[in-house]
Amino acid sequence: MGREIYPAMSGGIRALKTLDSVANNLANLNTTGFKADRPTFKLEAPAQSRDLDPNTAEGRLANAFAVLDGISTDYSQGVLRETGSMSDLAIRGEGFFHLKDAAGKSFLTRDGSFQVNAEGFLVTRDGLQVQQRGGGGGVQVGDGEFRVTEQGELKVGDDTRGRIAVVEIAGDELSKVGGNRWSLDEKAVLADGESQILQRHLESSNVQPVQALTEMIALSRYYEAFQDSLSTSSELDEKLNNRVGRVDQ
């Protein structure tokens, strides 16, 4: 095949990776607090073609090859829905709940579907402790009724037991690690946020289902078009080789 296949291969790879991302978004349509992802690309010649003169036709084709540059996350607010469960919390505005595991490692999440463990601490379903504002450690609510104000203050009767942390951080310092949470860059600095907390609510995924389905159909057709282009290029090469072979004979 000639180097004219570079744009077709590039477009096909770009469509396939974007299709994977859209499919993952749709799969998490009902995941509490999920934030949709989108791959980003840059133009870069394949390694075996970087010595080509960029001013030639072949060089321009090679340099039109798109490679994955990263994943961009849409952090926009999802719809807040009432659940009635005392331990369900949602953030209205920017920021994340701050979690720590048993080893003291920090994670962030927008998924506020918490529960109270045997020791009376507010935790995720797999046991990570929800943290207090200002580094006060885990949030202990006891084994009875509790109330969380919009400012995050945890109240048991007339007693204030602390304030649930809502932290803010630059998006490029976060990495998705599964379990609907993010890990932090080692040098990341957490800042206290001022967003509101709504008790007995959860935040829905911010995936737009109709838009995502429409995009998936368009990307599938787009990918098929690039496959057809590669097949056509292969057929032309085969015909050319056969013709050259007959002339030589």
Could you write out the DSSP letters of every residue in 79-130?
Answer: PEEE---TTBEEEESS-EEEEE-TT--EEEES--B-EE-TTSBEE-TT-PEE
Answer whether residue 125 shows pLDDT above 80: yes
Contact 1, 235 (CB under 8 A): no
Q: What confidence score (pLDDT) does residue 239 get?
A: 61
149-164 pLDDT, tens digit per residue, is 999 999 998 889 899 9
CA distance 218 to 230: 19
Among 80-84, 128-132, 179-183, 189-193, the range scoring the smallest mean pLDDT is 189-193
30-61 pLDDT, tens digit per residue, is 999 999 998 887 777 666 666 767 677 666 66
- 34 membership: H or E segment, kind and range: none
Q: Which two tokens stand for residue 102?
A: 């048993």
Q: What confidence score (pLDDT) does residue 71 get?
A: 83
Q: What confidence score (pLDDT) does residue 64 get?
A: 67
What is the average pLDDT score of the chain?
A: 84
Among candidate residues 147, 155, 32, 30, the one with its CA nearest the CA of residue 87? 147
Q: What confidence score (pLDDT) does residue 58 get?
A: 66
Q: What confidence score (pLDDT) does residue 219 get?
A: 79
Among 8-22, 92-106, 135-149, the range scoring the smallest mean pLDDT is 8-22
58-80 pLDDT, tens digit per residue, is 666 666 677 777 888 999 999 99
Answer whether residue 1 shows pLDDT above 60: no
pTM of the model: 0.78
CA distance 213 to 37: 15
